[in-house]
Chains A and B, each alone.
Chain A
């Protein structure tokens, strides 16, 4: 029941974030969407995700504000506006149709099929010795994924340092 209220709030905040003409307000609306997502994670009983989503949301807001401060927004609506709107709506309608057809195959909400995880849950504590099952999964059973993610973060840091470097003498 609370999940539906949170979902409606998230949809409204997302629509506000996109439609508003001011840049600072839309960044704050994205912050509201992220915070509601953290509450949704708490309701769905995933405490690791809630902590991580909260702090990552704070950093994302800091970076977004850094980019949008003092930058104006000249809004120009050019021609071909009707064609653009209709083609976008048509694309979204096709996407919705295919996703509805695909989502009927999933099991019902609230009864997951835990074919692989049953084995992880039963011998998780005895084989790894860690009480937190999520940490045991990402650091012992599936440690390759964590290595891949460390590589992605490393690449991102190197990329940002390379893009935002002053090229010495600009003419």
Chain B
């Protein structure tokens, strides 16, 4: 459901910052979806303790993948923001219908 809101933001809005916000929301939705896949009712966190049994844990494999994905998402957002700063310096506006000249 969150994914649809993010998708609508990316497709529809014309301001570049709003597009970046929509991309960020889509990424949050995907991470949440992945972690939801591996949930077990009344499970335990995947850290072993001295006196608890093992087979009742939540799935640790999607958590490992999502941990990597969160940090990569930060790197991608930082790159896009830096490109947006460059675009603003060159064109003076954030509206993408005015940024039409591809040369110069």
* A positions within 8 Å CB-CB of B: 7, 10-11, 14-15, 17-18, 23, 26-27, 30, 33-34, 37, 40-41, 44-49, 52-53, 56, 59-60, 63-64, 66-68, 71, 73-76, 78, 84-85, 88, 91-92, 95-96, 106, 109-112, 114, 116-118, 120-122, 124-125, 131-134, 137-138, 142, 145-146, 149, 152-153, 156, 159-160, 163-164
* B positions within 8 Å CB-CB of A: 1-2, 4-9, 11-15, 17-18, 20-22, 24-25, 28, 31-32, 35-41, 43-49, 54-55, 57-61, 63-68, 70-79, 81-86, 88, 93-95, 97
- Determine if B13 and A18 form an interchain contact, defined as CB atoms under 8 angstroms apart: yes
Note all chain B residues with C-beta closer than 8 A to A7: 1-2
Selected from B14, B35, B47, B76, the residue in CB contact (under 8 A) with A41 is: B35
Selected from A45, A75, A114, A164, the residue in CB contact (under 8 A) with B82 is: A164
Closest B residue by C-beta to A6: B32
CB distance from A131 to the nearest CB of B (A): 5
- Determine if A68 and B97 form an interchain contact, defined as CB atoms under 8 angstroms apart: no
- Determine if B21 and A27 form an interchain contact, defined as CB atoms under 8 angstroms apart: yes
Is chain B's interface secondary structure helix, strand, loop, or mixed overall? helix
Q: How far is B23's CA from A64's CA once the two chains are assembled, in angstroms?
A: 13
CB distance from B62 to the nearest CB of A (A): 9
- A67-B28 contact, Cβ under 8 Å, with A14-B5, A52-B71, A112-B39: no
Between A and B, 10 residue pairs with Cβ closer than 8 Å are: A10-B2, A18-B5, A30-B24, A37-B31, A95-B7, A112-B39, A112-B59, A121-B57, A137-B64, A163-B82
9 additional contacts (CB under 8 A) given A37-B31, A145-B68, A160-B78:
A33-B28, A45-B45, A49-B70, A63-B78, A92-B4, A111-B40, A122-B54, A137-B60, A160-B82
Is chain A's interface secondary structure helix, strand, loop, or mixed overall? helix
Q: How far is B75's CA from A59's CA once the two chains are assembled, in angstroms?
A: 10
- Determine if B4 and A95 form an interchain contact, defined as CB atoms under 8 angstroms apart: yes
- Determine if B71 and A133 form an interchain contact, defined as CB atoms under 8 angstroms apart: no
Closest A residue by C-beta to B34: A49
CB distance from A52 to the nearest CB of B (A): 5
